[in-house]
Amino acid sequence: MKQYRFIKNSTQTVLRFYIFLGVIAPSFAQESGFTDNILIEIDPETVLNEISDDFIGFGYETSAVANKGLFNIENKHLVQLYKTLSKSGLVRIGGIIGDWTKYEAEGIPVGKSQKEYTIINKDVLNDLGAFLKETGWKVMWTINLGTGSKEEAVESALAVIEAMGEQLHSFEIGNEVSLLERFKDYEDYHKTYVEYKTAIREVLPNAKFSGADIAFSGNIQWNINFVEDESQDMSEVINHYYRGGSGWSGATIETLLSHYPKWNKKLSILKRLNEKHGVPFRMNEVGSFSGGGKAGVSDSFAASLWCLNLMFQVASSGGVGVNIQTDVNQLGFQSHYSAIYRNEDNTLSERPSYYGMLAFSLAGKGELLKLSTSVHELNLTAYATKNDEEEIWLTIINKDFVTNANIKIPLPPGYNKAEVFRLEAPSIESLDNVTLAGAKVDEDGAWETDVIEKLNIYNKTTDCNIRSGSAALIRLRKQVFN
């Protein structure tokens, strides 16, 4: 009998890696090998977390709002791309440009790069509000703390709430506040934060606030201090994540898909904050590599696998959402990591990371379940969920470059039907031709498939081969026989 050794009490596999010293890494095009069977057992009775309905999100610099016509109900393509992902997602507006934005009710809207002022007016805010109502999404809006005043903050907050109404999730005051030059320490920042919040509350007594917005390279102690000070009067703890800078020599596919202890440590800190104070956390600005991403990496199929895995990592740690940064960046160009890329003629195209979000929209619903996985040496992770229809989705992400995974899955009691939706591309380096269950997002922004691969079941067990550099979403269902 085949013997398995298990990793206990885990939503995902523990990763082990080979390190090659003085040897060139294997080519992505190298012929794939196969693993021995990896056994994954799902415990449907042990629920680890609930995945929030507004988990899926996008992040934009405020300059995107100044581009009249982008967030507009007549932009049918963008409306449908949002609806395809979620009926209740969250848009975060801010970024570095959030601290370089002025509101002028009758001004001419103009989007600028950092250290120049972006102007938004009443019309573009109304357009955004109508867009959000049409899609069902809400917005987290950044108040200018870096270069603005309390009086300007109040004026812009009033304009935002008038335009967004119930579609406003919360305000955040300032972007990446621990890096702002105006503050010498946390106490200095928090004093100013309270002044701004108090001024806004005088005219908007029911206003909600999230914070403190901290860069991945920033001081997370500010998050800890902020929650200790504001836990009774805040919506969400917010933080950012980039694997590194786009100019870094390590900005590669290998780096993007590798295990990153610093990231796991940050998630652990945010999870403990939530458990101690009851304040949920959100990664409200997420991209592969900062500074607009790395061409050939951030826009490759590898980014799709990275995005899918990262969203499940956050959910597994108790996070309530991930906002994938997209569109124009603080430097003034369309980022390579954009899930939805805006072309020079303002037409839109879905990049590979959109498909990672799309895969999560199928499998990342409901309850996150406990699972156990036999020990292996692949760069592979697995997550299980159960939705309101009592479907169990097992998401398996094989980030290994050359080795296919043979997966064996004992079916939980009562489940007798298994199907697989494959997230694939010609190679892990592919920039296009990404499919989910054999289908692409169509020209209108919708996705559907009639290519559902059924898995055979023997002795209440099914198995599935997962190609290197791909993912599989296995749906388990209860089929009633008359």
Among 343, 363, 383, identify where a domain stops.
Answer: 363
Residue type, 111: G
Distance between CA 27 and CA 423 in Å, rounded? 21
On whether both 352 and 373 belong to a single domain, the answer is: no
Are the C-beta atoms of residues 395 and 471 closer than 8 Å to each other? Answer: yes
Q: Looking at residue 330, what is its pLDDT?
A: 97
Q: Looking at residue 481, what is its pLDDT?
A: 62
On whether both 127 and 265 belong to a single domain, the answer is: yes
Q: How many helices (H) and strands (E) does the chain have?
A: 10, 25
| CB neighbourhood size of 263 (10 A) | 14
On whether both 355 and 379 belong to a single domain, the answer is: no
CATH number at residue 390: 2.60.40.1180
Residue type, 214: I
Q: How sure is the predictor about 20, in pLDDT bands with cuts at 50, 70 and 90?
A: very low
- Residue 395 belongs to some domain of the structure: yes
Which residue in the block uniquely carries the two structure tokens 């980039």?
242
Q: Kind of pairing, strands 321-325 and 56-61?
A: parallel
147 pLDDT exceeds 90? Answer: yes
Q: How sure is the predictor about 13, in pLDDT bands with cuts at 50, 70 and 90?
A: very low
Are the C-beta atoms of residues 150 and 113 closer than 8 Å to each other? Answer: no
| CB neighbourhood size of 203 (10 A) | 12
Tokens of 437: 């269950």
Q: Looking at residue 16, what is its pLDDT?
A: 33
Distance between CA 301 and CA 361 in Å, rounded? 17
On whether both 399 and 340 belong to a single domain, the answer is: no
On whether both 322 and 293 belong to a single domain, the answer is: yes
% helix, strand, coil for the chain, step of 5: 25, 30, 40
Closest Cα to residue 464, out of 477, 480, 475? 475
On whether both 371 and 359 belong to a single domain, the answer is: no
Burial level of 302, CB count in 10 A (0-12/13-18/19+)? Answer: buried
Domain that holds residue 164: 54-363
On whether both 158 and 258 belong to a single domain, the answer is: yes
Q: Could you report the per-residue pLDDT of 249-306, keeping only the tens digit for each? A: 999 999 999 999 999 999 999 999 999 999 999 999 999 999 999 999 999 999 999 9
- Residue 396 belongs to some domain of the structure: yes
Count CA atoms closer than 13 A to 267's CA, side-chain side. Answer: 19
Q: Looking at residue 479, what is its pLDDT?
A: 81
Q: Looking at residue 36, what is its pLDDT?
A: 78
- Residue 1 belongs to some domain of the structure: no
On whether both 288 and 316 belong to a single domain, the answer is: yes
Q: Which residue has the higher pLDDT, 2 or 268?
A: 268
On whether both 345 and 399 belong to a single domain, the answer is: no
Among 315, 335, 363, identify where a domain stops.
Answer: 363
On whether both 398 and 352 belong to a single domain, the answer is: no
Closest Cα to residue 19, out of 259, 240, 261? 259
Average pLDDT over residues 32-57: 93
On whether both 353 and 372 belong to a single domain, the answer is: no
Structural domains counted in the chain: 2
Q: Could you report the per-residue pLDDT of 181-227, keeping only the tens digit for each? A: 999 999 999 999 999 999 999 999 999 999 999 999 999 999 999 99
Are the C-beta atoms of residues 381 and 309 closer than 8 Å to each other? Answer: yes
Average pLDDT over residues 411-431: 98
Q: Looking at residue 19, what is its pLDDT?
A: 28
- Residue 444 belongs to some domain of the structure: yes
Q: Which residues pair with 383 in a beta bridge?
A: 395
Q: Please report, in angstroms and rounded to a whole number, the separation of the first and last CA atoms in the chain.
A: 36
On whether both 424 and 374 belong to a single domain, the answer is: yes
